Amino acid sequence: MSAPGFSRDFAAPRQAPRQSRAPLKRRLPHNGMAWDGCNNVLSRHSHDAEAVQSLKAIVPRLRDREVQIVLCNMVDNARRRAPAPAPGGPFDVVEYLLQVKDEDELANLLSETIYLELFRALIHGRDRYLARRVERGLEEQDPRTHCQLARAVDAFLAAGGWFWSDLAIFTHLDCAGALGHQATDTAASAAAGGMNTYNAGPSRAATGAATATGADTDSEFDSDEFAGVGPSSDEEGHDEDEEVAGVAADLSEMDLDNKMDDKMDVDVY
């Protein structure tokens, strides 16, 4: 029975499920990968939302393991088609990635801009993790203990590290206006030579060699390879219904985010 003077008509409305502001980042592995502190993985939140929309076409429930397999396949597609080192002029990594784009299920669904930005972000995620361990003076780890995506990146760089150029992809995206005003610090770092080309230092070289030794050079990644590999501790307990609802809301905000991004000068790299 209601208290005197209280009407059910004035009861507080039920709150909508919590909506994620990091729909892509929350589905990415952390064992062997390190992502930027921002919610975004790509340069804009709307770019993350577009990537998730394409992932949903392949993995409707956005299950972490299935998302990782799809991303591994995208990276491995570029590895399997990587040409052998050859003398001559500079290699056009952007042209190469666009040539192999249609051969992968996810890449084929993505726009050229989002595909290049996502591929670059995955390479960054692996290199950022290794660089942080070196900076902190931590001992090297066996790459076989890292997530499948980390090993896929290592295998790609073991095969295509000779032509990989972060600066070339960054410049292409920046000239296309895909990065907006968020690339100031990245451009300064690139201009200083910090990210000109892939540099196979001792840690990376050892990692790549160990990964390539145990890599399957022909077949795509299979869900069986994830046996016993669950999400990282900070990803456990996600409510998938809330996540999917959050993605839908994020997609509906894409136009607004694009306008807001143009007003913000935030480096997400």
Per-residue pLDDT tens over the stretch 101-127: 999 999 999 999 999 999 999 999 999
Neighbours of 72 (CB within 10 A): 25
206 part of a folded domain: yes
Mean pLDDT of the region 59-66: 94
User: Residue 246 falls within a domain, yes or no?
Assistant: yes
Tell me: pLDDT of 171 over 70: yes
* Total of domains in the chain: 1
pLDDT of residue 81 exceeding 50, the answer is yes
33 secondary structure, DSSP code: -
Structure confidence at residue 9 (pLDDT): 54
Q: Are 242 and 18 in contact (CB under 8 A)?
A: yes
Tokens at residue 179, please? 């990065």
Q: Which domain holds residue 85?
A: 38-218+240-262
For residue 49, is it within any domain?
yes
- Residue 5: what pLDDT? 55
Q: pLDDT above 90 covers what percent of the chain?
A: 51
Q: Which residue type occupies 96?
A: Y
Which three-class secondary structure state does DSSP give residue 111? coil
What is the rounded CA–CA span in Å between residue 204 and residue 190? 20
Asked if pLDDT for residue 233 goes beyond 50, the answer is no
pTM (two decimals): 0.67
In a domain, 113, yes or no: yes
Residue range 233-262: average pLDDT? 41
**Residue 175 within a domain:** yes
Residue at token pair 């993985």: 41
Q: By percentage, how much of the chain surpasses pLDDT 70?
A: 58
Range of 97-101, 139-143, 177-181 with top mean pLDDT: 97-101
Nearest to 212 by CA among 268, 140, 158, 170: 158
Q: Is residue 162 part of a domain?
A: yes
Confidence of residue 63 (pLDDT cuts 50, 70, 90): very high
Give 60-64's long-range contacts (Cβ < 8 A, gap of 24+).
61/240, 61/244, 62/23, 62/27, 62/240, 62/243, 62/244, 62/247, 63/240, 64/27, 64/29, 64/231, 64/235
